[in-house]
Amino acid sequence: MQLKLGHFLALLGGLLLLLGAVSVLCGLLPVSPAHLLTGTLTPQETSVVWFIRLPRFVCGAAAGAALALAGAVLQGLFGNPLADPGLLGVSGGACLGAVLALLSGFSLRYAFVLPLGAFCGALAATGAVSLLARRARPGGEGTALLLGGVAIGLFCGALTAGLLSFAPPQIMQQYFFWTLGTLSGSSWKLLPLLPVMAVLMSGLLFLGRPLNLLSFGDEQALAAGMEVSCWRRRILLGISLLTALAVCLAGNISFVGLIVPHLTRRFTGPDHRRLLPAAALFGAVALTGCDFIGRVIFPFGEVRTGVVTALLGAPYFLFLLTGK
């Protein structure tokens, strides 16, 4: 069922605003809507709204939009509906960088050290994968990127496991919660990442026509006068950077970059000029919705956001594999 793009974006925008409102008001400490509207919040309510729930919602929306957009672009780039940003080795590199940041000891004193380490690790993995692709045979860059990403991800995973074998229990626990994917560490200190993400997403949103050509295959794109190898390297660099920033904000979140583009295509069709903006907004709704569910489903605590996305995304992934 295809909808008009404007109607679909308006619907998603309304859902995002509604989620923002309920996310700010609901939780272990309820916030009075009357107090919020009249500006008479108690000191406790002010602290909860402005320093915990609002940055958590903003970071969740940004990370969800980034992951879904990266997934939609990657699937169009390779013409593979099962392509996911995690295949590029970015997540593995980010996890390795996070472990190194934790082992340094500075992450306990400075909150920004953990996302900074994750970002540096993701950039290093991206550079390694790009170097492997450049050394591939002409026409085989796409396959080299995917296989190289898997290899680099496995290598980073092995190094991460080795380092954790010698880590104290406190470090292992902190890393464990981070790899589950969570927005609980969101704060306004991460605000400088958002403009960079906005620039990268803006650039990817204008790739609708090139991706439409690439989705038909390299031969069709070459016939249209497109420099396929050059475009692919640029797009993959942008996807890797965007995914790295999303991992810095929310940890290792699974299935958003894989499932959301599929759901979006059911409403927009395969045209990437319609798909990309809708997928980005849908991703913001999906991740903030999963985070809200994880916070309110149990009255005595919260379920990590990555756990909720996996529990909801895995059944739909199996449904996709059935071909129905």
Q: Is 255 helix (H, G, I), strand (E, B) or coil?
A: coil
**Higher-confidence residue: 18 or 108?**
18
Closest to 76 in 3D by CA, of 275, 287, 277, 229: 275
pLDDT band at 109 (very low <50, low <70, confident <90, very high): low
Query: Packing angle between helix 113-134 and helix 90-104, nearest 10 degrees?
Result: 140
pTM of the predicted structure, to 2 decimals? 0.87
> Over the stretch 44-99, which tens digit does the pLDDT of each residue have?
888 888 888 999 999 999 999 999 999 999 888 877 777 787 777 878 888 888 88
Tens-place pLDDT, residues 176-226: 777 778 888 788 888 888 999 999 999 999 988 888 888 777 677 777 777
Residue scoring higher pLDDT (285 or 314):
285
Closest to 186 (Cα-Cα) out of 276, 283, 295, 36:
295
Question: Residue 20 has what pLDDT?
Answer: 92
Question: Position of tokens 């109607």?
Answer: 7
Long-range contacts of range 148-154, CB-CB < 8 Å, 24 or more positions apart? 148/89, 149/87, 149/88, 149/89, 149/90, 150/87, 150/89, 151/89, 152/89, 152/92, 152/93, 152/125, 152/128, 153/86, 153/87, 153/88, 153/89, 153/91, 153/92, 153/93, 153/125, 154/92
Q: pLDDT by residue (tens digit) across 158-185? A: 998 888 888 888 777 777 777 778 888 7
Q: How far apart are the first and last CA of the chain?
A: 15
**Nearest of 95, 101, 103, 99 to residue 113 by alpha carbon:** 101
